[in-house]
Structure 1
Amino acid sequence: MTTTRQNGSLYTNIHNKIATIEFGHPASNSFPSDLLERLSKELITVGAKEEVAVIVLKSEGEKAFCAGASFDELVAIKNLEEGKQFFSGFANVINAIRTCGKLVIARVQGKTVGGGVGLLAACDYVLATEQAAIKLSELTIGIGPFVIEPAVSRKMGIGATAELTLDATSWKNAYWAKEKGLYAKVFENTKELDEEVEILSEKLASYNPVALAEIKKALWRNTENWDTLLAERAAVSGELVLSDFTKTALAKFKK
Protein backbone atom coordinates (compact mmCIF):
# COMPACT_ATOMS: atom_id res chain seq x y z
CA MET A 1 0.00 0.00 0.00
CA THR A 2 1.39 3.42 -0.97
CA THR A 3 0.30 6.65 0.65
CA THR A 4 -1.37 9.46 -1.32
CA ARG A 5 -0.68 12.10 1.36
CA GLN A 6 1.31 15.02 -0.04
CA ASN A 7 3.28 15.41 3.20
CA GLY A 8 3.93 11.68 3.25
CA SER A 9 3.19 9.14 5.96
CA LEU A 10 5.07 7.77 8.95
CA TYR A 11 3.95 4.80 11.04
CA THR A 12 5.58 2.94 13.93
CA ASN A 13 4.66 -0.54 15.06
CA ILE A 14 6.25 -2.05 18.19
CA HIS A 15 6.06 -5.81 18.62
CA ASN A 16 8.28 -8.16 20.65
CA LYS A 17 10.84 -5.39 21.36
CA ILE A 18 11.16 -4.59 17.62
CA ALA A 19 10.05 -1.11 16.50
CA THR A 20 9.31 -0.95 12.78
CA ILE A 21 9.25 2.62 11.44
CA GLU A 22 7.75 2.87 7.96
CA PHE A 23 7.80 6.05 5.85
CA GLY A 24 6.11 6.73 2.55
CA HIS A 25 5.49 9.45 -0.01
CA PRO A 26 3.64 9.37 -3.36
CA ALA A 27 6.73 10.72 -5.18
CA SER A 28 8.84 7.52 -4.99
CA ASN A 29 9.18 7.79 -1.20
CA SER A 30 10.99 11.11 -1.42
CA PHE A 31 11.19 13.31 1.68
CA PRO A 32 9.60 16.74 2.08
CA SER A 33 11.12 18.66 5.01
CA ASP A 34 8.12 17.97 7.22
CA LEU A 35 8.50 14.19 6.84
CA LEU A 36 12.26 14.35 7.55
CA GLU A 37 11.53 16.29 10.74
CA ARG A 38 8.89 13.77 11.81
CA LEU A 39 11.27 10.87 11.15
CA SER A 40 14.07 12.52 13.17
CA LYS A 41 11.77 13.02 16.16
CA GLU A 42 10.32 9.51 15.88
CA LEU A 43 13.77 7.88 15.86
CA ILE A 44 14.74 9.73 19.05
CA THR A 45 11.37 9.01 20.74
CA VAL A 46 11.34 5.31 19.83
CA GLY A 47 15.04 4.93 20.66
CA ALA A 48 14.35 6.14 24.20
CA LYS A 49 11.70 3.50 24.89
CA GLU A 50 12.83 0.74 27.24
CA GLU A 51 10.52 -1.78 25.59
CA VAL A 52 12.34 -1.31 22.25
CA ALA A 53 15.53 -3.30 21.65
CA VAL A 54 16.04 -2.67 17.92
CA ILE A 55 14.61 -0.42 15.19
CA VAL A 56 13.75 -1.54 11.64
CA LEU A 57 13.50 1.26 9.08
CA LYS A 58 11.54 0.59 5.89
CA SER A 59 9.60 2.41 3.19
CA GLU A 60 6.23 1.80 1.57
CA GLY A 61 5.50 0.03 -1.68
CA GLU A 62 7.42 -2.36 -3.88
CA LYS A 63 9.47 0.04 -6.01
CA ALA A 64 11.83 2.80 -4.83
CA PHE A 65 13.17 2.77 -1.28
CA CYS A 66 13.83 6.52 -1.32
CA ALA A 67 14.13 9.19 -4.01
CA GLY A 68 15.96 11.61 -1.72
CA ALA A 69 14.73 15.06 -0.70
CA SER A 70 11.69 16.76 -2.21
CA PHE A 71 12.50 18.21 -5.64
CA ASP A 72 9.64 20.73 -5.44
CA GLU A 73 11.02 22.13 -2.18
CA LEU A 74 14.55 22.24 -3.61
CA VAL A 75 13.37 24.35 -6.56
CA ALA A 76 11.47 26.69 -4.23
CA ILE A 77 14.49 27.72 -2.08
CA LYS A 78 14.84 31.54 -2.19
CA ASN A 79 17.55 32.44 0.34
CA LEU A 80 20.45 31.11 2.39
CA GLU A 81 18.40 30.42 5.52
CA GLU A 82 15.82 28.40 3.57
CA GLY A 83 18.64 26.54 1.84
CA LYS A 84 20.41 25.63 5.06
CA GLN A 85 17.11 24.55 6.64
CA PHE A 86 16.23 22.35 3.64
CA PHE A 87 19.60 20.56 3.61
CA SER A 88 19.52 20.16 7.39
CA GLY A 89 16.65 17.69 6.96
CA PHE A 90 18.79 14.66 6.17
CA ALA A 91 21.50 15.92 8.57
CA ASN A 92 18.98 15.72 11.41
CA VAL A 93 17.85 12.21 10.43
CA ILE A 94 21.44 10.96 10.21
CA ASN A 95 22.21 12.44 13.62
CA ALA A 96 19.00 10.95 15.05
CA ILE A 97 20.04 7.47 13.87
CA ARG A 98 23.51 8.09 15.32
CA THR A 99 22.26 9.21 18.76
CA CYS A 100 18.96 7.32 19.24
CA GLY A 101 20.66 4.66 21.37
CA LYS A 102 19.28 1.65 19.47
CA LEU A 103 20.67 -0.29 16.53
CA VAL A 104 18.86 0.53 13.29
CA ILE A 105 18.36 -2.09 10.56
CA ALA A 106 17.31 -0.85 7.10
CA ARG A 107 15.08 -2.96 4.85
CA VAL A 108 15.69 -1.84 1.24
CA GLN A 109 13.37 -3.12 -1.49
CA GLY A 110 14.35 -0.80 -4.37
CA LYS A 111 16.39 2.08 -5.76
CA THR A 112 17.76 4.86 -3.58
CA VAL A 113 19.00 8.30 -4.66
CA GLY A 114 20.81 11.22 -3.01
CA GLY A 115 19.91 11.84 0.61
CA GLY A 116 18.38 8.37 0.79
CA VAL A 117 21.85 6.88 0.28
CA GLY A 118 23.04 8.90 3.29
CA LEU A 119 20.11 7.58 5.30
CA LEU A 120 21.14 3.99 4.48
CA ALA A 121 24.80 4.70 5.23
CA ALA A 122 23.78 5.93 8.69
CA CYS A 123 21.88 2.72 9.50
CA ASP A 124 23.82 0.12 11.49
CA TYR A 125 22.93 -2.85 9.27
CA VAL A 126 21.37 -2.82 5.80
CA LEU A 127 19.59 -5.68 4.05
CA ALA A 128 18.53 -5.19 0.42
CA THR A 129 17.16 -6.84 -2.71
CA GLU A 130 18.87 -7.08 -6.11
CA GLN A 131 16.66 -4.15 -7.23
CA ALA A 132 18.27 -1.83 -4.67
CA ALA A 133 20.59 0.17 -6.94
CA ILE A 134 21.99 3.50 -5.68
CA LYS A 135 22.98 6.84 -7.22
CA LEU A 136 24.34 10.20 -6.04
CA SER A 137 23.24 12.62 -8.78
CA GLU A 138 23.82 15.92 -6.93
CA LEU A 139 26.70 17.16 -9.10
CA THR A 140 24.43 17.06 -12.18
CA ILE A 141 22.41 19.96 -10.74
CA GLY A 142 25.37 21.95 -9.46
CA ILE A 143 25.37 20.91 -5.81
CA GLY A 144 27.00 17.93 -4.07
CA PRO A 145 26.26 15.28 -1.43
CA PHE A 146 27.95 17.37 1.26
CA VAL A 147 25.58 16.63 4.15
CA ILE A 148 25.58 12.86 3.65
CA GLU A 149 29.27 12.50 2.70
CA PRO A 150 30.50 11.84 6.28
CA ALA A 151 27.97 9.00 6.66
CA VAL A 152 28.69 7.50 3.23
CA SER A 153 32.48 7.76 3.65
CA ARG A 154 32.30 6.24 7.15
CA LYS A 155 30.42 3.23 5.80
CA MET A 156 31.90 2.77 2.30
CA GLY A 157 35.28 4.52 2.38
CA ILE A 158 36.52 7.57 0.49
CA GLY A 159 37.18 5.65 -2.73
CA ALA A 160 33.63 4.35 -3.11
CA THR A 161 32.17 7.71 -2.05
CA ALA A 162 34.26 9.48 -4.70
CA GLU A 163 33.21 6.97 -7.36
CA LEU A 164 29.52 7.37 -6.47
CA THR A 165 29.74 11.16 -6.31
CA LEU A 166 31.79 11.82 -9.44
CA ASP A 167 30.01 9.28 -11.65
CA ALA A 168 26.83 11.20 -10.95
CA THR A 169 24.72 9.88 -13.85
CA SER A 170 25.28 6.16 -13.23
CA TRP A 171 23.39 3.68 -11.09
CA LYS A 172 25.54 1.33 -9.01
CA ASN A 173 23.89 -2.05 -8.52
CA ALA A 174 23.12 -3.73 -5.20
CA TYR A 175 26.11 -6.08 -5.44
CA TRP A 176 28.46 -3.12 -5.91
CA ALA A 177 26.90 -1.53 -2.81
CA LYS A 178 27.43 -4.79 -0.89
CA GLU A 179 31.05 -5.09 -2.06
CA LYS A 180 31.70 -1.54 -0.83
CA GLY A 181 30.14 -2.17 2.59
CA LEU A 182 26.83 -0.31 2.34
CA TYR A 183 24.73 -3.49 2.27
CA ALA A 184 25.39 -6.47 4.54
CA LYS A 185 23.38 -8.93 2.41
CA VAL A 186 21.53 -8.87 -0.91
CA PHE A 187 18.50 -11.05 -1.69
CA GLU A 188 16.75 -12.08 -4.90
CA ASN A 189 13.32 -10.84 -3.83
CA THR A 190 11.39 -9.06 -1.06
CA LYS A 191 10.08 -12.34 0.40
CA GLU A 192 13.64 -13.48 1.18
CA LEU A 193 14.52 -9.96 2.34
CA ASP A 194 11.62 -9.82 4.80
CA GLU A 195 12.42 -13.27 6.18
CA GLU A 196 16.00 -12.20 6.91
CA VAL A 197 14.91 -8.86 8.44
CA GLU A 198 12.62 -10.79 10.79
CA ILE A 199 15.28 -13.36 11.74
CA LEU A 200 17.96 -10.73 12.39
CA SER A 201 15.74 -8.32 14.32
CA GLU A 202 14.41 -11.14 16.52
CA LYS A 203 17.96 -12.31 17.27
CA LEU A 204 19.08 -8.79 18.18
CA ALA A 205 15.99 -8.25 20.34
CA SER A 206 16.95 -11.35 22.36
CA TYR A 207 20.43 -10.04 23.24
CA ASN A 208 21.50 -8.09 26.33
CA PRO A 209 20.15 -4.53 25.83
CA VAL A 210 23.14 -3.03 27.66
CA ALA A 211 25.52 -4.83 25.30
CA LEU A 212 23.52 -3.58 22.29
CA ALA A 213 23.65 0.00 23.58
CA GLU A 214 27.40 -0.22 24.18
CA ILE A 215 28.08 -1.70 20.73
CA LYS A 216 26.06 1.15 19.19
CA LYS A 217 28.32 3.65 20.99
CA ALA A 218 31.45 1.77 19.91
CA LEU A 219 30.37 1.65 16.25
CA TRP A 220 29.75 5.41 16.25
CA ARG A 221 32.92 6.50 18.07
CA ASN A 222 34.66 9.65 16.77
CA THR A 223 31.45 11.12 15.32
CA GLU A 224 30.66 13.41 18.25
CA ASN A 225 31.30 16.48 16.06
CA TRP A 226 28.61 15.55 13.52
CA ASP A 227 25.97 17.95 14.89
CA THR A 228 28.28 20.81 13.96
CA LEU A 229 29.83 19.19 10.87
CA LEU A 230 26.55 18.31 9.16
CA ALA A 231 25.11 21.77 9.91
CA GLU A 232 28.19 23.32 8.24
CA ARG A 233 27.71 21.04 5.23
CA ALA A 234 24.03 22.03 5.01
CA ALA A 235 25.13 25.67 4.82
CA VAL A 236 27.51 24.85 1.92
CA SER A 237 24.70 23.17 -0.02
CA GLY A 238 22.31 25.99 0.88
CA GLU A 239 24.68 28.47 -0.73
CA LEU A 240 25.29 26.37 -3.84
CA VAL A 241 21.60 25.85 -4.54
CA LEU A 242 21.22 29.64 -4.96
CA SER A 243 23.94 29.81 -7.63
CA ASP A 244 23.06 30.68 -11.23
CA PHE A 245 24.46 27.32 -12.35
CA THR A 246 22.13 25.35 -10.09
CA LYS A 247 19.09 27.53 -10.83
CA THR A 248 19.60 26.95 -14.56
CA ALA A 249 20.17 23.21 -14.06
CA LEU A 250 17.06 22.87 -11.89
CA ALA A 251 14.93 24.77 -14.41
CA LYS A 252 16.07 22.40 -17.19
CA PHE A 253 15.48 19.38 -14.99
CA LYS A 254 11.97 20.57 -14.09
CA LYS A 255 11.04 20.89 -17.77
Structure 2
Amino acid sequence: MEPYVTLNIENKVGYVEFYHPNRNSMPSDILDLLAQTIKGAGENDDVNVIVLKSGGDRTFCAGASFNEIIAIEDEETGFQFFSGFAKVINAMRKCPKFIIGRVQGKSVGGGVGLAAATDYCLATQYASIKLSELSIGIGPFVIEPAVSRKIGKNAMSQMTIDAETFFSSEFAKEKGLFSEVFETVEELDNAVKVLVTKLASYNQEAVKEMKKVMWVGTDYWDDLLSERAKISGKLVLSEFTKNTLKRFR
Protein backbone atom coordinates (compact mmCIF):
# COMPACT_ATOMS: atom_id res chain seq x y z
CA MET A 1 0.00 0.00 0.00
CA GLU A 2 1.04 3.58 -0.62
CA PRO A 3 1.61 5.99 2.30
CA TYR A 4 -1.37 8.16 3.18
CA VAL A 5 -2.97 10.55 5.63
CA THR A 6 -6.77 10.63 5.68
CA LEU A 7 -9.58 12.37 7.52
CA ASN A 8 -12.87 10.50 7.88
CA ILE A 9 -15.76 12.18 9.69
CA GLU A 10 -18.45 10.15 11.42
CA ASN A 11 -21.01 11.65 13.79
CA LYS A 12 -18.91 14.73 14.54
CA VAL A 13 -15.78 12.63 15.13
CA GLY A 14 -12.82 13.25 12.84
CA TYR A 15 -10.64 10.15 12.44
CA VAL A 16 -7.17 11.24 11.31
CA GLU A 17 -5.25 8.18 10.10
CA PHE A 18 -1.67 7.99 8.84
CA TYR A 19 0.09 5.05 7.24
CA HIS A 20 3.47 4.10 5.79
CA PRO A 21 4.40 0.57 4.68
CA ASN A 22 7.68 0.79 6.61
CA ARG A 23 6.15 0.34 10.10
CA ASN A 24 4.33 3.68 9.87
CA SER A 25 7.58 5.63 9.77
CA MET A 26 7.30 9.34 9.03
CA PRO A 27 8.97 10.93 5.97
CA SER A 28 8.69 14.67 5.42
CA ASP A 29 5.69 14.59 3.11
CA ILE A 30 3.65 12.49 5.55
CA LEU A 31 4.60 14.78 8.45
CA ASP A 32 3.55 17.87 6.50
CA LEU A 33 0.29 16.29 5.43
CA LEU A 34 -0.44 15.12 8.97
CA ALA A 35 0.08 18.62 10.36
CA GLN A 36 -2.18 20.12 7.67
CA THR A 37 -4.87 17.48 8.23
CA ILE A 38 -4.95 18.05 11.99
CA LYS A 39 -5.13 21.81 11.47
CA GLY A 40 -7.94 21.37 8.96
CA ALA A 41 -9.89 19.08 11.25
CA GLY A 42 -9.55 21.62 14.04
CA GLU A 43 -11.09 24.28 11.80
CA ASN A 44 -13.87 22.03 10.46
CA ASP A 45 -17.30 22.73 11.97
CA ASP A 46 -18.33 19.14 11.21
CA VAL A 47 -15.69 17.86 13.64
CA ASN A 48 -16.09 18.14 17.43
CA VAL A 49 -13.39 15.70 18.51
CA ILE A 50 -10.40 14.14 16.74
CA VAL A 51 -9.02 10.60 16.92
CA LEU A 52 -5.38 10.16 15.90
CA LYS A 53 -4.66 6.64 14.69
CA SER A 54 -2.39 4.75 12.32
CA GLY A 55 -3.06 2.10 9.72
CA GLY A 56 -2.14 -1.54 10.18
CA ASP A 57 -2.47 -3.65 13.29
CA ARG A 58 1.05 -3.76 14.71
CA THR A 59 3.29 -0.67 14.94
CA PHE A 60 1.65 2.64 15.79
CA CYS A 61 4.59 4.70 14.55
CA ALA A 62 8.28 3.86 14.04
CA GLY A 63 9.29 7.52 14.17
CA ALA A 64 11.49 9.30 11.65
CA SER A 65 12.16 7.78 8.24
CA PHE A 66 15.70 6.36 8.42
CA ASN A 67 15.99 6.34 4.63
CA GLU A 68 15.30 10.05 4.47
CA ILE A 69 17.63 10.81 7.40
CA ILE A 70 20.51 8.98 5.70
CA ALA A 71 20.03 11.14 2.60
CA ILE A 72 20.39 14.43 4.53
CA GLU A 73 23.60 16.20 3.47
CA ASP A 74 23.37 19.70 4.98
CA GLU A 75 22.09 21.39 8.13
CA GLU A 76 19.24 23.22 6.40
CA THR A 77 17.80 20.00 5.00
CA GLY A 78 18.18 18.40 8.42
CA PHE A 79 16.43 21.33 10.05
CA GLN A 80 13.56 21.14 7.57
CA PHE A 81 13.13 17.41 8.15
CA PHE A 82 13.00 17.59 11.94
CA SER A 83 10.77 20.65 11.72
CA GLY A 84 8.16 18.26 10.38
CA PHE A 85 7.71 16.74 13.83
CA ALA A 86 7.64 20.23 15.33
CA LYS A 87 4.83 21.22 12.98
CA VAL A 88 2.73 18.19 13.91
CA ILE A 89 3.18 18.65 17.66
CA ASN A 90 2.39 22.36 17.44
CA ALA A 91 -0.66 21.66 15.28
CA MET A 92 -1.90 19.24 17.94
CA ARG A 93 -1.39 21.61 20.88
CA LYS A 94 -2.99 24.54 19.02
CA CYS A 95 -5.97 22.53 17.82
CA PRO A 96 -9.11 23.85 19.61
CA LYS A 97 -10.57 20.35 19.86
CA PHE A 98 -9.58 17.37 21.96
CA ILE A 99 -7.31 14.88 20.21
CA ILE A 100 -7.69 11.30 21.41
CA GLY A 101 -4.82 8.92 20.70
CA ARG A 102 -5.57 5.36 19.57
CA VAL A 103 -2.29 3.42 19.90
CA GLN A 104 -2.57 -0.20 18.79
CA GLY A 105 1.12 -1.13 18.80
CA LYS A 106 4.72 -0.10 19.37
CA SER A 107 5.92 3.49 19.18
CA VAL A 108 9.51 4.59 18.65
CA GLY A 109 11.00 8.08 18.82
CA GLY A 110 8.69 10.51 17.07
CA GLY A 111 5.84 8.05 17.51
CA VAL A 112 6.14 8.48 21.27
CA GLY A 113 6.05 12.22 20.66
CA LEU A 114 2.79 11.93 18.74
CA ALA A 115 1.20 9.90 21.53
CA ALA A 116 2.42 12.41 24.11
CA ALA A 117 0.96 15.34 22.18
CA THR A 118 -2.57 13.91 22.26
CA ASP A 119 -4.91 15.17 24.96
CA TYR A 120 -5.94 11.67 26.06
CA CYS A 121 -4.42 8.43 24.88
CA LEU A 122 -5.71 4.86 24.88
CA ALA A 123 -3.59 1.85 23.93
CA THR A 124 -3.30 -1.93 23.81
CA GLN A 125 -1.01 -4.12 25.88
CA TYR A 126 1.25 -4.36 22.82
CA ALA A 127 1.93 -0.60 22.77
CA SER A 128 5.45 -0.59 24.15
CA ILE A 129 7.51 2.59 23.71
CA LYS A 130 11.14 3.45 23.02
CA LEU A 131 13.20 6.62 22.65
CA SER A 132 16.02 5.29 20.49
CA GLU A 133 17.47 8.56 19.24
CA LEU A 134 20.55 8.72 21.45
CA SER A 135 21.65 5.27 20.25
CA ILE A 136 21.83 6.53 16.67
CA GLY A 137 23.78 9.68 17.50
CA ILE A 138 21.07 12.29 17.91
CA GLY A 139 18.46 12.71 20.66
CA PRO A 140 14.70 13.19 21.12
CA PHE A 141 15.14 16.96 21.07
CA VAL A 142 12.02 18.01 19.17
CA ILE A 143 9.61 15.67 20.93
CA GLU A 144 11.13 16.07 24.41
CA PRO A 145 8.87 18.94 25.55
CA ALA A 146 5.74 16.94 24.70
CA VAL A 147 7.07 13.74 26.25
CA SER A 148 8.34 15.46 29.42
CA ARG A 149 5.06 17.33 29.79
CA LYS A 150 3.18 14.03 29.77
CA ILE A 151 5.44 11.60 31.68
CA GLY A 152 7.83 13.92 33.54
CA LYS A 153 11.50 14.73 33.09
CA ASN A 154 12.72 11.74 35.09
CA ALA A 155 10.86 9.14 33.04
CA MET A 156 11.85 10.90 29.80
CA SER A 157 15.51 10.86 30.91
CA GLN A 158 15.27 7.18 31.85
CA MET A 159 13.94 6.27 28.42
CA THR A 160 16.45 8.49 26.64
CA ILE A 161 19.44 7.01 28.45
CA ASP A 162 18.18 3.42 28.13
CA ALA A 163 17.75 4.07 24.43
CA GLU A 164 17.72 0.48 23.19
CA THR A 165 15.00 -0.77 25.51
CA PHE A 166 11.28 -0.99 24.82
CA PHE A 167 9.32 0.11 27.88
CA SER A 168 6.02 -1.67 28.44
CA SER A 169 2.55 -0.27 27.93
CA GLU A 170 2.06 -0.62 31.70
CA PHE A 171 5.09 1.61 32.25
CA ALA A 172 3.55 4.12 29.84
CA LYS A 173 0.27 4.00 31.76
CA GLU A 174 1.99 4.33 35.13
CA LYS A 175 3.88 7.40 33.94
CA GLY A 176 0.78 9.01 32.42
CA LEU A 177 1.33 8.60 28.69
CA PHE A 178 -1.61 6.20 28.36
CA SER A 179 -4.84 6.68 30.30
CA GLU A 180 -5.99 3.09 29.78
CA VAL A 181 -4.45 -0.09 28.36
CA PHE A 182 -6.58 -2.85 26.80
CA GLU A 183 -5.85 -6.48 26.00
CA THR A 184 -7.09 -6.38 22.41
CA VAL A 185 -7.49 -3.93 19.55
CA GLU A 186 -11.23 -4.62 19.59
CA GLU A 187 -11.48 -3.54 23.23
CA LEU A 188 -9.37 -0.47 22.42
CA ASP A 189 -11.63 0.54 19.54
CA ASN A 190 -14.78 0.04 21.62
CA ALA A 191 -13.37 2.24 24.38
CA VAL A 192 -12.34 4.94 21.90
CA LYS A 193 -15.81 4.95 20.34
CA VAL A 194 -17.56 5.26 23.72
CA LEU A 195 -15.27 8.12 24.76
CA VAL A 196 -15.42 10.16 21.56
CA THR A 197 -19.20 9.74 21.29
CA LYS A 198 -19.49 11.45 24.65
CA LEU A 199 -16.94 14.15 23.82
CA ALA A 200 -18.61 14.93 20.49
CA SER A 201 -21.81 15.83 22.37
CA TYR A 202 -20.17 18.28 24.79
CA ASN A 203 -20.30 22.07 24.64
CA GLN A 204 -17.57 22.91 22.15
CA GLU A 205 -16.96 26.36 23.60
CA ALA A 206 -16.18 24.70 26.93
CA VAL A 207 -13.90 22.22 25.19
CA LYS A 208 -12.05 25.02 23.41
CA GLU A 209 -11.46 26.92 26.65
CA MET A 210 -10.46 23.74 28.48
CA LYS A 211 -7.93 22.91 25.78
CA LYS A 212 -6.29 26.30 26.38
CA VAL A 213 -6.07 25.57 30.09
CA MET A 214 -4.57 22.13 29.53
CA TRP A 215 -1.82 23.53 27.29
CA VAL A 216 -1.15 26.75 29.22
CA GLY A 217 2.50 27.72 29.31
CA THR A 218 3.40 26.21 25.94
CA ASP A 219 3.05 29.30 23.75
CA TYR A 220 6.83 29.43 23.34
CA TRP A 221 6.94 25.98 21.74
CA ASP A 222 6.94 27.36 18.20
CA ASP A 223 10.39 28.83 18.84
CA LEU A 224 11.54 26.06 21.17
CA LEU A 225 10.78 23.17 18.81
CA SER A 226 12.34 25.08 15.93
CA GLU A 227 15.57 25.45 17.92
CA ARG A 228 15.45 21.77 18.80
CA ALA A 229 15.02 20.90 15.11
CA LYS A 230 18.23 22.82 14.38
CA ILE A 231 20.11 20.71 16.94
CA SER A 232 18.87 17.46 15.42
CA GLY A 233 19.51 18.76 11.90
CA LYS A 234 23.15 19.35 12.78
CA LEU A 235 23.76 16.13 14.69
CA VAL A 236 22.24 13.97 11.97
CA LEU A 237 25.18 14.85 9.71
CA SER A 238 27.69 13.08 11.97
CA GLU A 239 29.54 10.03 10.70
CA PHE A 240 28.33 8.18 13.80
CA THR A 241 24.71 8.66 12.81
CA LYS A 242 25.26 7.93 9.12
CA ASN A 243 27.12 4.68 9.83
CA THR A 244 24.65 3.58 12.50
CA LEU A 245 21.58 4.15 10.32
CA LYS A 246 23.06 2.25 7.37
CA ARG A 247 22.79 -0.91 9.46
CA PHE A 248 19.01 -0.42 9.73
CA ARG A 249 18.35 0.67 6.17
Answer yes or no: same fold by TM over 0.5.
yes
For residues 244 and 30 of structure 1, what CA distance do their matches in structure 2 show?
Answer: 22
Find out whether 1:183 has 2:178 as its counterpart: yes
CA deviations 1:15-40 (Å, max 9, x no partner) are 11110011111001111100100010
Q: Once the 2 structures are TM-superposed, how far is the Cα of residue 65 of structure 1 from its aligned partner?
A: 0.5
Residue 29 of structure 1 aligns with which residue? 24
Aligned to 1:130: 125
Shift of 1:110: 0.3
- The corresponding residue for 1:141 is 136
Q: Return the letter of the residue paired with 2:212.
A: K
8 A Cα contact 2:48 2:199, kept in partner: yes
- Provide the aligned length of Structure 1 versus Structure 2: 249
Q: Deviations over 1:50-73 (max 9, x none)?
A: 221100011111110001111100
- The equivalent of 1:114 in structure 2 is 109
Report the Cα distance in structure 1 between the residues aligned to 2:185 and 2:63, rounded to whole angstroms. 21
Matches of 1:34 and 1:244 in 2, distance apart? Answer: 25
1:111 maps to a residue whose letter is K
The reply on whether 1:62 has 2:64 as its aligned counterpart is: no
Task: Give, in whole Å, the separation in 2 of the partners of 1:252 and 1:18.
Answer: 41
Is 1:83 the counterpart of 2:78? The answer is yes
In the alignment, which of 187, 198, 217 is matched to residue 203 of structure 1?
A: 198
1:242 and 2:249 matched: no
- Specify the SS of the correspondent of 1:140: helix
Cα offset for 1:247? Answer: 2.2
Q: Which residue of 1 aligns with 2:159?
A: 164
Report whether the alignment pairs 1:50 with 2:45.
Answer: yes
Find the residue that maps to 1:147 and give its secondary structure: coil
Distance 2:53 2:194 in 1: 16
3-state DSSP of counterpart to 2:219: coil
* Runs of 4+ deviating beyond 6 Å: none
Describe the SS at the equivalent of 1:186. strand
* Structure 1 residue 13 corresponds to structure 2 residue 13: no
Distance, in Å, in 2 between the alignment partners of 1:39 and 1:200 is 23
Contact 2:66-2:245 at 8 Å conserved across structures:
no
Tell me the secondary structure at the aligned position of residue 176 of structure 1. Answer: helix
CA distance in 1, matches of 2:244, 2:21: 24
CA distance in 2, matches of 1:252, 1:201: 42
SS of the counterpart of 1:105? strand
In the superposition, the TM-score normalised over structure 2's length comes to 0.98
Separation of aligned partners in 2, 1:49 and 1:253: 40
Aligned-pair CA distance for 1:250: 2.2
For normalisation by structure 1, the TM-score amounts to 0.96
Amino acid at match of 1:40: A
| 5+ residue gaps, structure 1 | none
Identity across matched positions, percent: 57
Name stretches of at least 5 consecutive residues in structure 2 with no aligned partner.
none
Q: CA RMSD in A?
A: 0.8
Q: Deviations over 1:84-122 (max 9, x none)?
A: 011111110000001121110010100000101001100
